[in-house]
Amino acid sequence: MSTSFENLVTSGTFSLDGGTWEVDNNVWIIGDENEVIVIDPAHNADAVAEAVGERSVSAILLTHGHDDHISQALEVQRQLGGRIHLNPADQMLWDAVHEGTVPDVNISDGDVFTVGEATLVAIHTPGHSPGSTCFYAESLAGPDGATQPVLFSGDTLFAGGPGATGRSFSSFDTIIESIKTRLFEELPAQTLVNTGHGPSTSIGEEAPHLQEWIDRGE
């Protein structure tokens, strides 16, 4: 079995700056029949554990520290194992949810994570939050078995534009710079973009719209 990715959608809430919203989150599971990496195990630890099954978890990667992405991280770790990784620039967001604890490993730009025959590279893309980080694989198999370059973008890039920047610790100018220089200028146009919420897209689909987003503003 080749190294592939799977998608689990979970539902819950996102809270920040005194507001709470209902959200559906994409949980991404990357690996083979023996071992997986879990990205953003949101809302429902039992559902994540069921999706992983008997496979071992080598790492839990968090794209950023908003509560909808991290609230179940410790419970998922308790059930499945795997060290929790987060960019330390989002420690204040982690503290708001898991006060008195710290993630196991600090993510730095360029960090490499290997699972099965695949390698994921951390790309620091601040803007949605200071520590927002995407994970890029040069080749992964999707549910249909076809292989391609894949980016797990968290809440940095969606189908239709950048992630939200109207709340604490976020910056529109910063996210635009991150998307332009770290994603559009560095990654192949055919790269599949698997997002933190909603449908997937591609670098080639989104790149032509950058100026529209800048003109539109946050």
CB proximity list for 92: less than 8 A, separation 6 or greater: 65, 169
DSSP state of 23: E
Give the chain's radius of gyration (CA, Å). Answer: 16
Measured in degrees and rounded to the nearest 5, phi and psi for residue 126 equal: -65, 160
- What per-residue confidence (pLDDT) applies to 1? 53
Phi first, then psi: give them for residue 24, nearest 5 degrees.
-105, 130
The label of the residue with tokens 């890029």 reads 136
Q: Give the span between the Cα atoms of 85 and 103, in whole angstroms.
A: 6
Q: Which amino acid is at 25?
A: N
Residue 112 class from Cβ within 10 Å (0-12 exposed, 13-18 middle, 19+ buried)?
A: exposed
Task: Please give the pLDDT value at position 204.
Answer: 98
Report domain extents, the chain.
Answer: 4-216
Q: Using DSSP, state whether 115 is helix, strand or coil.
A: strand
pLDDT at 142: 87
Task: Divide the 218 residues of the chain into consecutive groups of 10 and give the mean pLDDT of each group.
Answer: 91 95 98 97 98 98 98 98 98 97 98 96 98 98 90 98 96 98 98 98 98 92
Nearest to 205 by CA among 157, 134, 135: 157
- Please give the class, per CATH, of domain 4-216: alpha beta
Gap between the Cα atoms of 62 and 84, Å rounded: 7
Supply angle C-alpha 125, 39, 87, rounded to 5.
40
Contact assessment for residue 151 and residue 158, using Cβ atoms and an 8 Å cutoff: no
